[in-house]
């Protein structure tokens, strides 16, 4: 049975780094929100509201593909932020529809570490998107850790 790997962590907490590592396993593919958004909507994304709109379009398009991969036994590392209950509910629908296993990887990294990594990432210019400290704070307001009631199989990484 295939496994859907989900990632929960603030900006620059290491989600994509972990996703890349997880995708090295046999029969595993990584699907990256940042890569797809940059290829499809980079010129349209100038605000958090733009991100929310474009990310919703991407979820609608990529969801059936992820389900199909899981259904044929391919493990998927979904490098999308599982940072809100609504996002996690969408992700749950993917693995439940495909009758796949799942692991929600939670990255517990302090804000000051995330911001330092974010500044270094921005300076390097290699990431698809750059975010300011102010954007980090704004986006982090929506971040919520999964609760036991959500019923996910959780793996915590610090």
Q: Which two tokens stand for residue 158?
A: 């610090």
Q: Which CATH class name applies to 3-157?
A: alpha beta
The yes-or-no verdict on residue 135 having pLDDT over 90 is: no
Enumerate the β-bridge partners of residue 103: 5
126 confidence band (pLDDT: 50, 70, 90): confident
* 78 three-state secondary structure: strand
Residue 25 burial (C-beta neighbours within 10 Å; 0-12, 13-18, 19+): exposed
Domain ranges in the chain are 3-157
pLDDT tens for each residue of 5-24: 999 999 899 999 999 999 99
The Cα 13–Cα 2 span in angstroms is 26
pTM of the model: 0.91
The yes-or-no verdict on residue 107 having pLDDT over 80 is: yes
């Amino acid at each position: 049975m295939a496994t859907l790997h989900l990632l929960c962590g603030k900006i620059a907490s290491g989600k994509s780094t972990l996703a890349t590592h997880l995708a090295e396993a046999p029969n595993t593919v990584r699907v990256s929100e940042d890569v797809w958004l940059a290829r499809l909507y980079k010129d349209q994304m100038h605000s958090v509201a733009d991100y929310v709109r474009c990310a919703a379009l991407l979820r609608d398009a990529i969801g059936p593909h992820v389900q199909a991969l899981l259904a044929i036994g391919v493990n998927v590392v979904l490098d999308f932020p599982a940072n809100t209950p609504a996002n996690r509910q969408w992700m749950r629908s993917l693995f439940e529809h495909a009758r796949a296993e799942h692991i929600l990887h939670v990255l517990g990294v302090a804000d000051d570490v995330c911001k330092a990594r974010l500044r270094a990432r921005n300076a390097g210019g290699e990431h698809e998107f750059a975010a300011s400290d102010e954007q980090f704070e704004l986006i982090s307001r929506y971040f919520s850790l999964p609760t036991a009631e959500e019923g996910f199989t959780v793996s915590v990484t610090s």
